[in-house]
Chains A and B, each alone.
Chain A
Amino acid sequence: MHHGMYSPLRARVCPTLTRRKKVALAVVIWAAILLPTVHAQPLTLSAPKAVNTTDNSCYVDGLSEQMNCGSISVPEDHDQPEGKHIQVYYVVMPAIKSSGKSEALLAIAGGPGQSAIENAKGFDQMLTKVRQTHDVILIDQRGTGQSNPLQCVGDGFASPLAINESDFDAREESQKCLDELDADVTQYDSLSALRDFEAVRQHLGYQKLHLYGVSYGTRMAQLYMRHYPEHIATVTLDGVVPMQQSVLAIGDAIARAFDLLIQDCSNNTLCHNQFPQLAAELDKMDSELAQAPKISMIADPRTGEATQLTMTRSKFNGALRMALYSPSVRALIPHAIHQASQGNFQPITGLYAMSMDGAGIAMGMHASVVCAEDWQRLTPQLRANISQHYFGREMLKTFEKSCAVWNMPTVDSSFSQAIASDIPTLILSGKLDPATPPSWGEMAMEKLTNAKHFVAPYATHGVAYQSCGNNLIAELVEKGAVADIDGECLNKDISRNFYLNASTVEAIPSDTDTKQAETALNQ
């Protein structure tokens, strides 16, 4: 399980799942002390200089088309241009019919810690219409993908299914990860990365950018609006994390998404008849696992080999939480909860296996961003609020330990101020979002004078990928204004029926044969 946002591009169920196999176990074991080292962050960012550039045609994962790839060399510490340099990689997905080289769309991935380039296929699908006339740029933000990644890949665990997360000293694991990284992790915050982005824009020679940010990527987009407004034509914030908000406060959003799920199921006759005690079963499982994990032998979801499963509270809730990100996987949650309450952990294990690799997140970079920008802004009162929910508590515990090791300088207090801008901005929120609820979209609007906010009633996290939101982005890019954009198409019902047993989403014919067959299949 990991904490924080992430872009939903990878969290879809289809036969062409292409996640990386790295098991980001360090996620589970981040640990303990807050050190009060505070550095001042420069408010005005000087124009960055890039050197040693390379440009080539290339192919990216999942797309057969030729792209233009390259990298620029940037100082790891922008304030020490003569110091150590790192390569920042980018891919330009060329426009089919270019409307000139002056404008392009920069698509920014989530996480923090996801690689934009590894998600090229998803971005390409989502931005097909934009790509008809505009180049689309993907940049592996420093610390992610190929750009000096700060991976913390746990080793020494025979099976992630067998471990009990609470046995690990997160502080020690963070330290071990830090020792292995060849990087000054304090330089991997959002503002340093923003200067890389700007250097890439200059290197590629675009006058103006249209921005699309999803999840954590919306923070990068907002920072771009704040620091280089003259180079921005339009902005789309999809699943927005407002500057005023610490990502560590997503406990409320997760709880809200669980409530909506239970509500959806009880409003649905089929689901309600099949799982009448859903809320009670969820509570029962949670409190039982809070007492002690349940240990059993299962077949490994991937290898099929017999392996020990230690079902902990963290695995159980984490698997369900990750399932909330995708509308189709979400349909399996009531069945998974019900089966678990009957002692069958297979559906939960299946869901857990889906998120075992940490959704391709570079955990070191994740920690750099969260520790610098989210951890340190927590007031005692916020802490108390966050601690009310299980996830909030877990996150606080984890980052308390890891941020102590990571020792990030705190961002300036002005970092958390609302973005004031009149750049045309489209804000998309999913009503069912388990990470960035629609209220965060409202919060982001505070000082945006030229913005529109749409809430997609059937979408979760990452509206553009799940609905007609992609068309709205194309419209915004084409018109350069939000005034005429109509979000009506977002109301189209794209929801799915809930799984009623391990096989069907349709009504189960009420005869005993079927019941027996179902029981047999679930054993």
Chain B
Amino acid sequence: MSNKIITMVRKELIDAARDKRSVMAGLYYAVGAPLLMCGMFFMLIGQLTSPEDLNIKINNPQGAPDLIKYLSSKGITQGDADKNKDILLVISDDYASNMAKGISADVTLIADASNEKLQKSIRRLEKSLQQYSSEMGSLRLIARGIDPRVMQPIKLNVEDQATPDSKAGMILGLATMTMIYAVFISGMNLAIDTSAGERERNSLALLLSHPVSTGQIVISKIITVTLFGMIGLLLTLIVSKFAYSFVPWQELGFSVSVNSSFIGMMMLVGLPVAIMAACLQLFVSFMAKSFKEAQSYLTIVLMLPMMLAMAASYDIAPDTLQWLPVSGQLQALIEFIKGRELPGMQLAISSLITLAISALLAFGMQKSLKSEKIVFGL
């Protein structure tokens, strides 16, 4: 029995390898996705870490030369009109006289706060103005013979339990999602080809005429697709390990490292997911009448793990999701990355559920292969 399965897996692999384009299509994702993610992170870091200079419009700068000088020392200046951000700082006409009298001088910041791109710059400007204001205030107190520390009755001490690794959790959640997704994408073409495709080429009926049980056929197909999924995952992890090391994470104040223990963990946790992905994709493909139809269905089916994965990384309904396939494993992996204790119970149950779903799908496939309707695509 096991000999027959091994023979058939070998046959499936040879079949799959013959169609090089389809193999490559599956693996493009494995190599491409981490690289695309890296590109995205590079841009994200560029946006998050504010550049040295912030150019804004300033009305009446001659009304507050010291303030302008201070802002300039913080890299905030009035630049050329075309380079300016859409932020306007208006220094009131009575700024100097109010300052001299020791009362608050008006400075108005005009900007569209709903503009996402301006958020960072607005906050930076507000913070600088606040710092200037409190420095002026402190010195005003000193000039009146008062220790400025009287203005600080409470000294708040914050103790942050986060480690540089755990701060990376959000980002790595996204990255982990693309990695898990590799087991779906990498095996997809093969799953379609070996089921709907094989039927289209009329070789499925031929295969069934051999002295092997439908169960053995289904198992060998599942093993082959799972193998492809796992190869895709491994490739994704290896590419990620190298590509992610080039992203300047430290500029965001944390570190991201895809190390060997993470790769091992990922492969282990990814295996049930890969089996389920193989079963799901084969099942759907068998149900479809043609290769093309299978492709259309699978695209929709693939949305499901994607949504589960996204829900897990954005902490939506975490209580239910922790038991479900894909999201359960993802949550466990994110905990692992953050250096916290691995939720073993949760991982075991979600993996068992994943395998149970796989078994159901495999059983369904085995049944369906006995139906002429399915075998001949009637």
A-to-B contact residues, CB < 8 Å: 13-19, 59, 61-62, 64-66, 94-98, 132-133, 298-299, 301-302, 304, 328-329, 331-332, 335-336, 345-347, 349-351, 353-354, 492-497, 499-509, 514, 517-518, 521
**B135–A302 touching, CB < 8 Å:** no
Query: Looking at chain A's contact residues, is the secondary structure mostly helix, strand, loop, or mixed?
Result: loop
A309 to chain B: closest residue by CB: B145
**B96–A15 touching, CB < 8 Å:** no
**A96–B73 touching, CB < 8 Å:** no
Of the listed residues A66, A301, A351, A494, the one surrounded by the most CB atoms of chain B closer than 10 A to its CB is: A301
B101 to chain A: closest residue by CB: A517
**A18–B139 touching, CB < 8 Å:** no
| Stretch in B39-47, B151-159, B305-313 with 4+ CB within 8 Å of A | B151-159
B319 within 8 A of A: no
Q: How far is the CB of B12 from chain A (nearest CB, A)?
A: 44
Cα A349 to Cα B147 in complex, Å, equals 9
Q: How far is the CB of A60 from chain B (nearest CB, A)?
A: 10
**B143–A133 touching, CB < 8 Å:** no
Can you name 23 A-B pairs with beta carbons within 8 Å?
Answer: A14-B131, A64-B157, A65-B162, A66-B159, A96-B249, A96-B255, A132-B250, A299-B145, A301-B146, A304-B146, A329-B142, A336-B143, A347-B142, A350-B147, A493-B69, A495-B69, A496-B70, A499-B139, A501-B100, A502-B143, A503-B100, A503-B102, A509-B97
A301 to chain B: closest residue by CB: B147
Enumerate chain B residues within 8 angstroms of A499, measured Cβ to Cβ: 139, 143
Enumerate chain B residues within 8 angstroms of A509, measured Cβ to Cβ: 96-97, 100
Of the listed residues A66, A95, A506, the one surrounded by the most CB atoms of chain B closer than 10 A to its CB is: A506
**A497–B97 touching, CB < 8 Å:** no
**B99–A503 touching, CB < 8 Å:** yes
Enumerate chain B residues within 8 angstroms of A517, measured Cβ to Cβ: 100-102
B318 within 8 A of A: no
**A518–B100 touching, CB < 8 Å:** yes
Proximity bits, B122-148, A CB within 8 Å = 1, else 0: 000000000100111111111111111
**A59–B159 touching, CB < 8 Å:** yes
B66 within 8 A of A: yes
B51 within 8 A of A: no
A347 and B143 contact, Cβ closer than 8 Å, known pairs A506-B65, A509-B100: yes
**A504–B99 touching, CB < 8 Å:** yes
Contact among A13, A345, A346, A505 with B66 in the assembled complex (CB-CB below 8 Å): A505
B314 within 8 A of A: no
**A17–B152 touching, CB < 8 Å:** yes
A-B contact count (CB 8 A): 156
**B150–A66 touching, CB < 8 Å:** no
Contact among B135, B138, B140, B155 with A502 in the assembled complex (CB-CB below 8 Å): B140
B80 within 8 A of A: no
B344 within 8 A of A: no
Of the listed residues B143, B157, B159, the one surrounded by the most CB atoms of chain A closer than 10 A to its CB is: B143
Cα A346 to Cα B205 in complex, Å, equals 101
Cα A506 to Cα B134 in complex, Å, equals 16
Enumerate chain A residues within 8 angstroms of B64, measured Cβ to Cβ: 506
Enumerate chain B residues within 8 angstroms of A15, measured Cβ to Cβ: 134, 137-138, 148, 151-152
B72 within 8 A of A: yes
Cα A16 to Cα B157 in complex, Å, equals 11
Cα A97 to Cα B167 in complex, Å, equals 13
**A298–B143 touching, CB < 8 Å:** no
B151 to chain A: closest residue by CB: A15
A328 to chain B: closest residue by CB: B135
B116 within 8 A of A: no
Enumerate chain B residues within 8 angstroms of A61, measured Cβ to Cβ: 157
Cα A328 to Cα B64 in complex, Å, equals 16
Cα A349 to Cα B101 in complex, Å, equals 21
B215 within 8 A of A: no
A13 and B135 contact, Cβ closer than 8 Å, known pairs A18-B155, A503-B140, A504-B96: yes
Give 20 A-B pairs besides A502-B143, A503-B100, A509-B97 with Cβ atoms closer than 8 angstroms. Answer: A13-B142, A15-B134, A17-B148, A19-B149, A62-B157, A65-B162, A66-B161, A96-B164, A96-B253, A301-B145, A301-B146, A328-B135, A346-B145, A347-B143, A493-B72, A497-B69, A503-B140, A504-B102, A506-B95, A507-B96
Enumerate chain A residues within 8 angstroms of B65, measured Cβ to Cβ: 497, 506
Proximity bits, B94-132, A CB within 8 Å = 1, else 0: 011101111000000000000000000000000000010
Cα A365 to Cα B164 in complex, Å, equals 37
